[in-house]
């Protein structure tokens, strides 16, 4: 009888553990017992698929989650001084390289006193603005706050092999790295999905990062 009871106890435990290891959304990652590093790893591992060959209205909720998860990953990495992977969010190699360099530079700025905004993982988001620019091309304007500090992030999003991917991005904070390297908010437009394929433009941006 004791062996039977022990077997049942172990079976229940393994079932609970197995269930707890399944992670499919950002809400599953953000638990009180999870460390900041684990949360960032979880965010970097998220993947966002669409239902059809191109993005449609049925994918708006996924796009909103996608954009908010990217923001939490980036701003959380700045705050926690962690190196993270953006490969599940960005496919273009030039944009990926830029984002990694921007993160490293803004982490340095954060250590020196920041740039007037508060970075963190658990941001409070307002309603995400989603505009269709073309077939399979969408503009997202994400506004959010952290401890009363307001920020925004603009994304240009496409689907690549039925997965959502960022093809351009811009935070535009005053003295932010992307503001300095890619242009002032009044002149920086997000409407060209091929921008980061323009090697001459990319070279000019990278030169500014080295200054």
pLDDT at position 3, please? 38
CB neighbours of residue 206 within 10 Å: 14
pLDDT at position 186, please? 93
Residue in the structure block whose two tokens are 């960032």:
40
Q: Spell out the domain ranges in the chain.
A: 36-205
Q: Which residues contact 185 (CB under 8 A, 6 or more apart)?
A: 170, 172, 179
**170, 182 contact by CB (below 8 A):** yes
| Cα-trace Rg, the chain | 20
CATH of domain 36-205: 3.10.450
Backbone phi, psi, residue 40, to 5°: -65, -40
Q: CA 42, CA 113: separation in Å to the nearest integer?
A: 28
Provide the b/e sequence for 101-128 (b: ≥16 CB within 10 Å). bbbebbbebbeeebbebbbbbebeeeeb
Provide the b/e sequence for 78-92 (b: ≥16 CB within 10 Å). bbbebebbbebbbbb
**pTM, to two decimals:** 0.84
pLDDT at position 27, please? 58
Provide the b/e sequence for 136-157 (b: ≥16 CB within 10 Å). bbbbbbbbbebeeeebbbbbbb
Q: CA 132, CA 192: separation in Å to the nearest integer?
A: 13
pLDDT at position 30, please? 56
pLDDT at position 33, please? 60
Per-position pLDDT tens, the chain of length 211: 433 333 333 333 333 334 333 334 555 555 556 899 999 999 999 999 998 889 999 999 999 999 999 999 999 999 999 999 999 999 999 999 999 999 999 999 999 987 788 999 889 999 999 999 999 999 999 999 988 889 999 999 999 999 999 999 999 998 899 999 999 999 999 999 999 999 999 999 999 999 8
Give the CB-side neighbour count of residue 138, counting CA atoms within 13 A.
Answer: 27
pLDDT at position 32, please? 59
pLDDT at position 34, please? 80
Q: CA 84, CA 101: separation in Å to the nearest integer?
A: 12
């Amino acid at each position: 009888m004791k062996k039977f009871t022990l077997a049942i106890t172990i079976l229940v435990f393994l079932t609970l553990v197995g269930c707890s290891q399944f992670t499919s959304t950002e809400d599953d990652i953000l638990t009180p017992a999870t460390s900041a590093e684990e949360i960032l790893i979880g965010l970097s591992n998220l993947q966002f698929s669409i239902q059809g060959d191109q993005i449609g209205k049925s994918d708006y909720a996924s796009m909103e989650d996608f954009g908010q998860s990217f923001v939490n990953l980036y701003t959380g990495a700045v705050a926690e001084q962690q190196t993270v992977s953006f490969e599940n969010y960005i496919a273009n190699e030039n944009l990926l390289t830029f984002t990694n360099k921007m993160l490293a530079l803004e982490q340095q700025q954060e250590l020196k006193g920041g740039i007037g905004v508060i970075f963190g993982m658990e941001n409070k988001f307002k309603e995400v603005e989603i505009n269709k620019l073309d077939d399979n091309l969408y503009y997202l304007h994400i506004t959010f706050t952290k401890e009363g500090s307001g920020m925004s992030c603009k994304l240009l999003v496409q689907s690549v092999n039925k997965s959502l991917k960022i093809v351009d991005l811009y935070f535009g904070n005053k003295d932010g790295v992307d503001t300095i390297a890619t242009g002032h908010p009044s002149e920086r437009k997000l409407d060209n999905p091929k921008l980061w394929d323009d090697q001459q433009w990319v070279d000019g941006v990278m030169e500014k990062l080295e200054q």
